[in-house]
Amino acid sequence: MKILLGVTGGIAAYKSLELTRLCIKAGHEVQVVMTAGAKEFIQPLSFQALSGHPVRDSLFDANQEAGMGHIELARWADQIVIAPASAETLAKLRLGRADDLLTTVCLATDRPIMLAPAMNRLMWSNQATQENVELLKQRGFTLLQPDSGEQACGEVGEGRMPEPQSIFEALQELQKRHFENQQAWSKLKELWTGKSLLVTAGPTYEDIDPVRFIGNRSSGKMGFSIADVAAKAGAKVTLIAGPVSLATPSGVERIDVRSAQQMFEVVQTHYAQADCFVGAAAVADFRPAQSQQQKIKKRAGLEQMTLELVKNPDIIAWVAQQDNKPFVVGFAAETENVVDYARSKLKSKHLDMICANQVGENQGFERDDNSLTVITANHQTTFPNSSKFQQAMALLQEAGQKF
Ligand code: PMT
């Protein structure tokens, strides 16, 4: 593996010599980029001697740029690790700044980046640093947790750079995961390129009057992730979205609806062009028998009200009954007996596949993570809890293989 090691200003910079040695010993190739701050703590020559490559330190060095510019350097690496990563570097990466070679390379790469922060304990716990860390994690950076203990500044607390051996092991693990991820994407592309997916997402709102409605807690995140992954895998995706506040994933055609009846009508006009239909929406089973034209008033003495509800069409069951039906994947949101109830919906709605998920106290709805149990007539598999994006990848792999 080709590792680009970024070293920033901090007393822990000397530990990165040992990290370089471990990587070289394990057969990896290492190139080192140092910031100006790093060179205040350690001589570039030490890294050059260990890595066998001249250390890169300037964005504007004509000699070095001619040999290997920052873009080539970014392309060269299979993996970037910044150890130590100073508070300043975390802030610059968060802002997407490119005012030195290291931050420019990080901006110009699609390779995995691991950060091993090291700083004074108060700098680490500062809200600004913690917010930077959270945002970088959300953007896909891997952040190692600093160690706790005595610090070079004399204080005791969290902020020490993890030991080189731990960083090295985390690097190996990250590379393994990156490789598995790449394999998963090439499999997904093989299965979905050129296929057509129709997916419903989010809740439906059933109006009582112009200001009130019956709705549910679905955020649309699960269905939007499915649409996103399928589009990234090369499928033609139509997403029918209930009322949610999510951005449309790139490359996805989106049709917004409000009620179950509207969702049904759009599905009826689109299902026949789809190879696969995924019903991830939390469709209201019932709607008010009448939606009032004017706001219902609270009359004096009125202590009770009865709202008459009528059944909505079962959209997914309707699709599954059509002669030219696509491969039909339903969802089952349950608070108890999750798998049993899902299995009975698989049968009663004549679905090809169903994804059971637990909802309720901090589960399923609204959250960014989930755990799905995918069930067909003769197979069942559970994906361990992970982001809804990861669940969507796993689900589309299962579904793609089945049809
Ligand atoms: O949107 P999030 O916040 O990310 O949450 C995701 C989720 C929990 C909403 C999602 O993962 C999920 O489980 N969606 C289906 C929820 C649901 O309504 O389940 P159900 O058991 O009521 O319905 C079973 C299946 O029938 C579903 O595929 C549903 O879309 C479909 N259905 C239900 C009623 C109806 N009238 N028409 C339908 O098509």
Residue 330 lies in a domain: yes
- Give the CATH number, domain containing residue 22: 3.40.50.1950
The region, left, alpha or beta by phi > 0 then psi within -120 to 50, assigned to residue 387 is beta
Residue among 218, 270, 372 to mutate when testing ligand 1 (max atoms within 8 A of CB): 218
**Among positive and negative, which fits the CA dihedral 288, 290, 293, 299?**
negative
Give the mean pLDDT of 144-150: 94
Q: What is the DSSP letter of 78?
A: S
In a domain, 377, yes or no: yes
Q: State the total domains in the chain.
A: 2
Ligand 1: distance of its center to the CA of 285 in Å?
A: 10
DSSP code of residue 373: E
Domain check: are 272 and 323 in the same one?
Answer: yes
Is residue 153 part of the annotated active site? The answer reads yes
Judge if 389 and 335 occupy the same domain: yes
pLDDT, tens digit, 9 for 90 and up, residues 183-207: 999 999 999 999 999 999 999 999 9
Together in a domain, 204 and 80: no
Question: Do 3 and 73 meet the contact criterion of CB atoms below 8 Å apart?
Answer: no
Note whether 212 and 329 are same-domain residues: yes
* 140 shares its domain with 265: no
pLDDT by residue (tens digit) across 323-358? 999 999 999 999 999 999 999 999 999 999 999 999
Expressed in angstroms and rounded, the spacing between residue 26 Cα and the centre of ligand 1 is 49
Query: Do 170 and 225 fall into the same domain?
Result: no
pTM: 0.85
Whether 164 and 262 map to the same domain: the answer is no
* Domain boundaries, position 368: 191-291+304-402
Residue 323 lies in a domain: yes
CB 159 within 8 A of CB 113: no
314 lines ligand 1 (CB under 6 A): yes
Ligand 1 centroid to 384 CA: how many Å? 20
29 lines ligand 1 (CB under 6 A): no
Q: Are 169 and 182 in contact (CB under 8 A)?
A: no
Residue 318 has pLDDT above 60, yes or no: yes
User: Are both 118 and 197 inside the same structural domain?
Assistant: no
- The residue with tokens 């969802």 is 331
pLDDT band per the 50, 70, 90 thresholds, residue 64: low
User: In terms of domains, do 167 and 77 share one?
Assistant: yes
Q: Assign 38 a pLDDT band (cuts: 50, 70, 90).
A: very high
Of the residues 23, 106, 153, 276, only one is catalytic, namely: 153
Q: Report if residue 359 sits inside a domain.
A: yes
Asked if 204 and 309 sit in the same domain, the reply is yes
User: Is 365 near ligand 1, meaning CB less than 6 Å away?
Assistant: yes
Is there a single domain that holds both residue 164 and residue 237?
A: no
166/216 same-domain check: no
Residue 361 is predicted with a pLDDT of: 80
What pLDDT does 341 receive?
A: 97
